[in-house]
Amino acid sequence: MGKITKVSPLAPDAFPDLPVIEGVAFSAAQAGVRYQGRTDVMMARLAPGTTMAGVFTRSATRSAPVLDCQAKIGLDSADGAAIIVNSGNSNAFTGKNGVVSTRAVTTAAAQTLGLPETRVFSSSTGVIGEPLPHERITAKLKELAETLDKGAIAAAARAIMTTDTFPKGAAAEISIDGKPVKIAGIAKGSGMIAPDMATMLVYIFTDAAAERAALQAMLSELTDVTFNCITVDSDTSTSDTLLLAATGASGVKVDGATTAFRDALHGVMLDLAHQVVRDGEGATKFVEVAVTGAASDADAKTHAMAIANSPLIKTAIAGEDPNWGRVVMAIGKSGAAADRDLLTIRFGDLLVAENGWVSPAYKEADAAAYMKGEYLRISVDLGLGHGKCTVWTCDLTHGYIEINADYRS
């Protein structure tokens, strides 16, 4: 985790210029949680009246910070709030020590910021199974509080990185009833990425106003078509946390029926989800898998994820081999309804197979040329119904092995 220097070839050219969200300020510091000389802790301070919503991993071995956030997220409060995140150590599978460390951080942060402890949400990401040296974090709380800056979201994005090769951010600015509304989000994620909720840390902020129940419903619904539709390696993290904070500073109230806001939030979430895939450990290709014609949407997702998670398919993509037989294999093993003789498979616009056999028009050379691109699309129509689903993944290269073999060193 401390050795990664090469930025993903799929990374954006630069971190985006995110808008200031009134009602939230950020800071970051070097606490030495695992590595010296690395920014590894961030704080976000939220104004009174902020509404919080969250979605979390469903892992049976989720971390102490996740359990703490889950206990707090459903509580209504007019108080301000804070988010504090460290990288380097996930505080997961640490037994009672994990609870003690989480409470030590949230209690000290609450005292420093003058907040109820129930309004401090913490996250930890990094190595599993090692006690969190929480005193290194609490020693930095005064510095973090004194350096809060509403324009420091980029520094916060960098502080939460682990095996990430670039910080991730996305934003949207829209007009509702003639008034501007802004959304800005940051994320971390590179490996241990599979949907259950998202396998990453994500923090999204908006100056819209929303009731907690409405904000939560919107977030949960949009998570299913964004973060729950990506995979890098089929492994679900113990620490996944997605928090959405609505400060209300714009004075514009929104809910699930506010189409412009919902669409903008969806766009920010999908952008961040795609960036995580583009930063997949060792990734060199971004792959969209689109399944249509399934018996149901659920079946379509089952097929899509079987394709996206197949090591055989992912290594073939890494080797730029148009091995469409592996797509047939993945569909057959998924367990969802399929009929061999109704399948249609395409690589990009190239018709590869149809009617249970390779297409007469298929040319291996054309498909091999297509596979050399950085952005690929595999589409499958099952010919059974109207179910559909699109998911996103990346290739599986030797770089993935190198990163994870050295992860704890």
Which residue ranges make up the annotated binding site?
A: 162, 188, 199, 281, 404, 409
- Inter-residue contact 284 to 318 (CB < 8 Å): yes
The residues, ordered by sequence, that sit 6+ positions from 339 with a Cβ below 8 Å of its Cβ are 382, 383, 384
Is 51 a known active-site residue? no
Of 50, 57, 125, 199, the active-site residue reads 199
What ranges in 118-196 are assigned the alpha helix state H? 134-138, 141-146, 153-159
- Inter-residue contact 202 to 53 (CB < 8 Å): no
SS3 66: helix
Q: Please, is 175 exposed, middle or buried when counting C-beta atoms within 10 Å of its C-beta (0-12, 13-18, 19+)? A: exposed
Phi and psi at residue 51, to the nearest 5°: -100, 135
CA atoms within 13 A on the CB side of 395: 26
Phi and psi at residue 392, to the nearest 5°: -130, 140
Q: Please, is 375 exposed, middle or buried when counting C-beta atoms within 10 Å of its C-beta (0-12, 13-18, 19+)? A: exposed
Q: Which residues are documented as binding site for substrate? A: 162, 188, 199, 281, 404, 409
∠ CA 263-201-306, rounded to 5°: 75
Active-site positions read: 199
